[in-house]
Amino acid sequence: MSELLKNIDARTRLAGTNKLEILLFTLGVDARTGRRETFGINVFKVREVMRTPPITAAPEMPAAVEGMVSLRGVLVPVVDLAKYAGMGADSAREIMIVTEYNGHTQGFLVEAVDTILRLDWSQMRVPPDMMTANMGGLVTAVTELPGPRLVMMLDVEKVLSETTRYDDDLMFKGIEPIKCEEPVTVYFADDSSVARKQIERTLDTLGVRYVGSVNGRAAWDELQKLAHYAESAGRKVKDLLQMVLTDVEMPEMDGYILTKKIKSDPRFEGVPVVMHSSLSGMSNQQLGRSVGVDEYVPKFEPQRLAEVLRRLVDRCQSARAA
């Protein structure tokens, strides 16, 4: 299994090309459909794949958290994805995918891993409403392979949010509304429903207006509308929009390509782009800056997001006054 990931560092060159590589895996037969569904996770977030080591049960854990394992002296929580998704409960989960999000490591138990598949983000589609409802919002993107075979990208951020006990109120404590003579507006793009809700709560707390999108393509369409309006009104986009906040991984168009489009279009001159991602390694931050990202904020840190937005708004106000 180590062969699957031996070249993972080299894969960072895919960033900025709208391409991704996903590790395919199964969770067992879905009792609701009677089928063995195929799921995927971005290779960027996978540290290793191994046989499931002995798991130590821990008290007062959410139902889907099997316990903890020790990996090179570090205790790592282990989530049974099949149990969390309500499927494949009778299948053996002898494989563990070790992942890293926002600097936190966790293991996901799966039935089996298949292969690594290289795709273009344009091949990944926003899931239809029926699938979203049936899967409880667990799927962020889908694609069809020959066979036909459907591959579903899991919203791992949703899994972690619901299996990790964070004090949401504490995370937002002390965030004060931004005081500004002119309305402050932010456009954001994220395919995770959990991430979108947290962004919205942060912006609501700050008293900021916003337009949200489920991927880069939809965000670019909204930005085009704003640019056309600004042109017809004889105004500059930067006077109407204080920041674009984008995730990295999104179906149809990722955050790197969205940033490239914004930074190469003179109509958006002076509009800062902030990358908001759980891919928190320095290499990913450097890749973001290489396509023109102005700031980088890890996900699920509303205090830092608020601080960055407040600083960018102050910068815009100073530029206007100059």
DSSP annotation of 13: G
Listed residues 137, 163, 189: the one ending a domain: 163
- Which of 110, 131, 163 delimits the end of a domain? 163
pLDDT at 11: 45
Quick one: 241 and 274 in the same domain?
yes
Do 103 and 242 fall within a single domain?
A: no
Residues 141, 260, single domain; the answer is: no
**Claim to verify: residue 172 and residue 154 sit in the same structural domain:** no
Q: What is the pLDDT of residue 167?
A: 56
User: Could you tell me the sign of the dihedral formed by the alpha carbons of 196, 200, 206, 209, in that order?
Assistant: positive
- Does residue 141 sit in the same domain as residue 253? no
Question: Residue 179: which CATH number?
Answer: 3.40.50.2300
Quick one: 213 and 316 in the same domain?
A: yes
Of the CA atoms within 13 Å of residue 266, those in its CB half-sphere come to 1
Q: Which residues contact 36 (CB under 8 A, 6 or more apart)?
A: 26, 28, 29, 30
Range of the domain at 218: 168-321
**CATH number of residue 48's parent domain:** 2.40.50.180
| d(C-alpha 25, C-alpha 112), whole Å | 6
CA distance 77 to 246: 28
Print pLDDT tens along the chain (322 aa): 544 444 444 444 555 566 788 899 998 877 666 778 899 998 878 889 999 999 998 887 888 899 999 998 889 999 998 888 887 666 778 899 998 877 778 999 999 998 898 888 788 888 888 877 777 778 888 988 887 888 998 888 888 878 776 556 778 888 889 888 788 999 999 998 888 999 999 999 999 999 999 999 999 999 999 999 999 999 999 999 999 999 988 888 989 899 999 999 999 999 999 998 776 555 566 677 778 899 888 888 899 999 999 898 877 666 655 5
Same domain for 176 and 147? no
Same domain assignment for residues 98 and 121: yes
Run of H or E including 285: helix 282-290
Q: What is the pLDDT of residue 284?
A: 64
In this structure, are 85 and 139 located in the same domain? yes
The last residue of a domain, from among 163, 181, 208: 163
**Of 178, 168, 309, 154, which Cα lies nearest the Cα of 244?**
309
Residue the block writes with tokens 């800062």: 272
Q: Are residues 15 and 89 in the same domain?
A: yes
Same domain, 9 and 143: yes
